């Protein structure tokens, strides 16, 4: 704070009495909150944040429009993503299910531009500028997500904590967790003798979001004991709680059919309570026992056994252990020959266990009991295995010692970072882009986060890896996912003609769609097309004069059907959408030809209702009524301002 400011504040405070000062202090203290602080008022304003109107223009020469393309479902949007996001807020609010971004990491190595200048390590406001820059964009992006949408954000370890707090601010209560990706095999930071080899993917999801997980493998449901309820799969009976943590769920179990006993693992006690134990603990006070049983969230072990829902694996007589004296039992334990967990080979019985005497003279079975889950007992949705937060390397061995094979998590696999540069080189023939993400990483994330009809947005698209991942996924599972990629040109005063969006992002997609290095391309059904959009910014007051028919057609089309048109807006009328019994049309000028064409539309298409966007809606409605046509007419100018100008004010966040 400047010195003069402090002096005048002190002078002001001098005039306050004790209650006033106390009230001020309370106000100050209750304003404090837990979270992230950055100096948004101190830094230079982001020049991209403005209040004008952003209008899209399709550039056919940079678009990819194979024969038969009726409209563009995929979009590549050139420009600062603040503008692209403002446009998308007007056209795609609540329509995007998955956002993946890989923003500049603010490494200090001049890896991102703020107000046309690269931000270096010594920039005093480096972190605040970065946070403010991302905050403004994330706030816009938040409005685009569907109610079950999710945003996945790549970030390095150094900036993870700052970005995570920022995400908490923008998406309060929506944090689902983070995935860890190993970026390289060895690091080489010799100064620190610390090898930095991982990055994170932060996950924030709206309420309805779930990863896909893995559908249960039906073949794992079998019927070895000819259960007349049908096939079942074994589920673990233990709960990862030790004897010390949950002494009440540490007890022996007996198979009523064979009389064999099963010891409880002291490091992982049973998942279910025992009525016998409850009775013992409550000294058989019947009222207390009944109320304890009623409070349980699941059946007791005795009830599961009674319902024949516990599977006791058959044991060979020679494997059953029995120790006739305490000394014999302790000697076997000491020699490592007592009862063991079959998989982990850790002892089930130890000399210091409270129930060690119980086991003298009891026949002890070698296997482990499990709970039967019948195929018919649970809907498929509840039987899905979860996604692991660990992203393994392509050839990495992933060992899990879970008893719960069916629910073993789905482990994504990704190449290391260096592979991604090669992937682009294979398509574009040169090292065209620094630090892209590997295709396998983004494909893996999208295979878990998307459903086949989702729209995926990447507003830091860089070289367009996300677009290629969407195409590959569609080809693999017959899906209809769409992509929207926003990329800057990266033009600066030094390189005014640079156009990364056109020459790397769109060019990569064009080549991938056509097929390269012997790899097949992608047809229209798989998403093998895209519109290349440039953005024009117009002051709200000038929209009625400066917006072109092309702007109107593209924007209204995107607003109404989320697609961009293929043709230029030359015809007198243009059909935007045919849906239900509605026909949505744009009429740029109410010429006699246009009126004739409009009047003929309902009969041509067998539709009763017409919605027409035009410059003067009232006048057009009257002219159409004279011709016996009833139409809902809307103002093009209003449509252009919709979602961008609020209450007559600019739309900057």
Ligand X SMILES: C[S@@+](CC[C@H](N)C(=O)[O-])C[C@H]1O[C@@H](n2cnc3c(N)ncnc32)[C@H](O)[C@@H]1O
Which residues contribute to the site for ligand X (CB under 6 A)?
Answer: 80-81, 102, 104, 112, 433, 435-437, 460, 462-463, 465, 486-488, 490, 500
Q: Which is nearer to ligand X, 129 or 274 (CB)?
A: 129
Distance CA 188, CA 197 (A): 9
Q: Which is nearer to ligand X, 301 or 500 (CB)?
A: 500
Q: Which is nearer to ligand X, 65 or 652 (CB)?
A: 652
The 3-class secondary structure across 470-501, one letter per residue, is HHHHHHHHCCCCEEEEEECCCCCCCCCCCCHH
Residue 139 CB, shortest distance to ligand X, in Å, is 14
Residue 201 CB, shortest distance to ligand X, in Å, is 11
Q: Which is nearer to ligand X, 83 or 529 (CB)?
A: 83
Q: Which is nearer to ligand X, 438 or 643 (CB)?
A: 438
Q: How many CB atoms lie within 10 A of CB 205?
A: 21
Q: Which is nearer to ligand X, 52 or 370 (CB)?
A: 52
Residue 133 CB, shortest distance to ligand X, in Å, is 7
Distance CA 439, CA 420 (A): 7
Q: Which is nearer to ligand X, 81 or 216 (CB)?
A: 81
Distance CA 134, CA 153 (A): 11
Q: Which residues of 328-351 are buried (b: 16+ CB within 10 A; e: fewer)?
A: ebbebbeeeebbbbeeeeebbbee
Residue 14 CB, shortest distance to ligand X, in Å, is 47
Q: Which is nearer to ligand X, 53 or 535 (CB)?
A: 535
Residue 419 CB, shortest distance to ligand X, in Å, is 12
Residue 315 CB, shortest distance to ligand X, in Å, is 55
Distance CA 197, CA 239 (A): 33
DSSP string, 165-221: HHHHHHSTT-EEEEEEEE--S----TTTT----EEEEEEEE-TT-----B---GGG-
Residue 100 CB, shortest distance to ligand X, in Å, is 8
Q: Which is nearer to ligand X, 112 or 530 (CB)?
A: 112
Both tokens of 553, joined, read 């057609």
Residue 421 CB, shortest distance to ligand X, in Å, is 10
Both tokens of 96, joined, read 């995007």
Residue 536 CB, shortest distance to ligand X, in Å, is 17
Secondary structure element (H or E) that encloses residue 256, with its range: none
Cβ-proximal residues to 51 (8 Å cutoff; 6+ apart), any chain: 540, 645, 649, 650, 651, 652
Both tokens of 412, joined, read 């994504």
Nearest residue to ligand X, by Cβ distance, number only: 462
Residue 22 CB, shortest distance to ligand X, in Å, is 46
Q: How many CB atoms lie within 10 A of CB 294?
A: 7
Burial group, residue 456, by CB count within 10 angstroms (0-12, 13-18, 19+):
buried
Residue 459 CB, shortest distance to ligand X, in Å, is 7
Q: Which is nearer to ligand X, 460 or 634 (CB)?
A: 460
Q: Which is nearer to ligand X, 88 or 500 (CB)?
A: 500
Residue 140 CB, shortest distance to ligand X, in Å, is 12
Burial group, residue 462, by CB count within 10 angstroms (0-12, 13-18, 19+):
buried
Residue 395 CB, shortest distance to ligand X, in Å, is 22
**Greatest alpha-carbon span in the chain:** 109
Distance CA 609, CA 579 (A): 10
Answer yes or no: are the C-beta atoms of 91 and 140 closer than 8 Å: no
Residue 244 CB, shortest distance to ligand X, in Å, is 48
Q: Which is nearer to ligand X, 159 or 465 (CB)?
A: 465
Secondary structure element (H or E) that encloses residue 286, with its range: helix 286-294
Q: Which is nearer to ligand X, 238 or 465 (CB)?
A: 465
Distance CA 528, CA 513 (A): 5
Secondary structure element (H or E) that encloses residue 255, with its range: none
Residue 200 CB, shortest distance to ligand X, in Å, is 14
Q: Which is nearer to ligand X, 46 or 406 (CB)?
A: 46
Q: Which is nearer to ligand X, 136 or 557 (CB)?
A: 136
Answer yes or no: are the C-beta atoms of 482 and 458 closer than 8 Å: no
Answer yes or no: are the C-beta atoms of 180 and 441 closer than 8 Å: no
Distance CA 108, CA 124 (A): 11
Report strand pairing: 198-205 vs 145-156.
antiparallel
Distance CA 568, CA 585 (A): 15
Secondary structure element (H or E) that encloses residue 392, with its range: strand 390-393
């Amino acid at each position: 704070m400047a010195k003069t400011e402090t002096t005048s504040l002190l002078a002001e405070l001098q005039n306050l009495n004790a209650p006033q000062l106390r009230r001020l202090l309370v106000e100050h203290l209750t304003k404090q909150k837990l979270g992230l602080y950055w100096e948004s008022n101190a830094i230079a304003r982001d020049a991209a944040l403005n209040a004008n109107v952003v209008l899209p223009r399709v550039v056919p020469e940079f678009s990819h429009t194979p024969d038969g393309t009726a409209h563009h479902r995929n979009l590549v949007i050139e420009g600062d993503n603040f503008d692209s996001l403002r446009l998308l807020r007007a056209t795609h609010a609540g329509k995007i299910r998955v956002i993946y971004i890989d923003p500049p990491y603010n490494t200090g190595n001049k890896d991102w531009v703020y107000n046309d200048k690269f931000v270096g390590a010594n920039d005093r406001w480096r972190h605040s500028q970065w946070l403010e820059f991302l905050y403004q964009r994330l706030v816009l992006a938040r409005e685009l997500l569907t109610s079950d949408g999710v945003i996945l954000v790549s970030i390095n370890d150094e900036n993870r904590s700052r970005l995570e707090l920022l995400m908490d601010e923008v998406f309060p209560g929506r944090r689902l967790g983070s995935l860890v990706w190993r970026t390289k095999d060895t690091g080489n930071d010799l100064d620190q003798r610390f090898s930095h080899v991982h990055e994170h993917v932060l996950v924030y999801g709206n309420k309805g979001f779930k990863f896909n997980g893995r559908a249960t493998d039906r073949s794992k449901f079998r019927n070895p004991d000819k259960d007349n309820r049908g096939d079942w799969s074994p589920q673990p009976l233990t709960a990862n709680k030790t004897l010390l943590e949950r002494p009440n769920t540490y007890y022996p179990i007996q198979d009523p059919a064979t009389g064999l006993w099963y010891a409880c693992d002291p490091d992982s006690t049973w998942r279910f309570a025992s009525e016998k134990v409850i009775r013992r603990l409550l000294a058989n006070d019947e009222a207390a026992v009944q109320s304890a049983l009623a409070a349980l969230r699941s059946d007791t072990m005795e009830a599961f056994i009674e319902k024949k829902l516990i599977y006791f694996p058959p044991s060979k007589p020679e494997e059953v252990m029995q120790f006739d004296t305490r000394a014999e039992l302790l000697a076997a334990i000491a020699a490592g020959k007592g009862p063991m967990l079959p998989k982990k080979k850790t002892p089930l019985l130890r000399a210091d266990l409270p129930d060690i005497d119980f086991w003298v003279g009891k026949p002890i079975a070698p296997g482990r009991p499990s709970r039967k889950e019948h195929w018919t007992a649970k809907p498929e949705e509840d039987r899905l295995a979860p996604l692991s937060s660990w992203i393994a390397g392509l050839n990495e061995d992933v060992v899990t010692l879970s008893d719960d094979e069916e629910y073993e998590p789905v482990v994504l696999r990704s190449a290391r970072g260096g592979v991604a540069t090669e992937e682009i080189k294979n398509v574009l023939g040169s090292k065209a882009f620094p630090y892209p993400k590997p295709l396998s990483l983004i494909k893996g994330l999208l295979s878990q986060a998307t459903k086949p009809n989702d729209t995926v947005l990447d507003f830091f698209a860089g070289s367009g890896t996300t677009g290629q991942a969407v195409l590959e996924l569609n080809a693999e599972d017959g899906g209809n996912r769409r992509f929207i990629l926003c990329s800057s040109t990266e033009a600066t005063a030094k390189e005014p003609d640079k156009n990364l969006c056109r020459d790397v992002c769109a060019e990569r997609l064009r080549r991938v769609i056509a097929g390269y290095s012997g790899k097949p391309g992608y047809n229209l059904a798989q998403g093998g097309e895209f519109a290349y959009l440039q953005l024009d910014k117009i002051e709200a007051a000038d929209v009625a004069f400066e917006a072109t028919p092309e702007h109107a057609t593209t924007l209204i089309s995107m607003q109404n059907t989320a697609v961009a048109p293929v043709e230029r807006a030359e015809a007198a009328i243009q059909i935007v959408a045919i849906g239900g019994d509605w026909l949505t049309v744009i009429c740029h000028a109410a010429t006699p030809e246009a009126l004739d064409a409009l009047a003929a539309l309902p009969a041509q298409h067998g539709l009763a209702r017409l919605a027409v966007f035009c410059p003067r809606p009232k006048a057009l409605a009257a002219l159409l009524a004279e011709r016996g046509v009833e139409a809902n007419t809307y103002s093009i100018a209003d449509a252009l301002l919709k979602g961008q100008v609020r209450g007559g004010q600019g739309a900057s966040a």
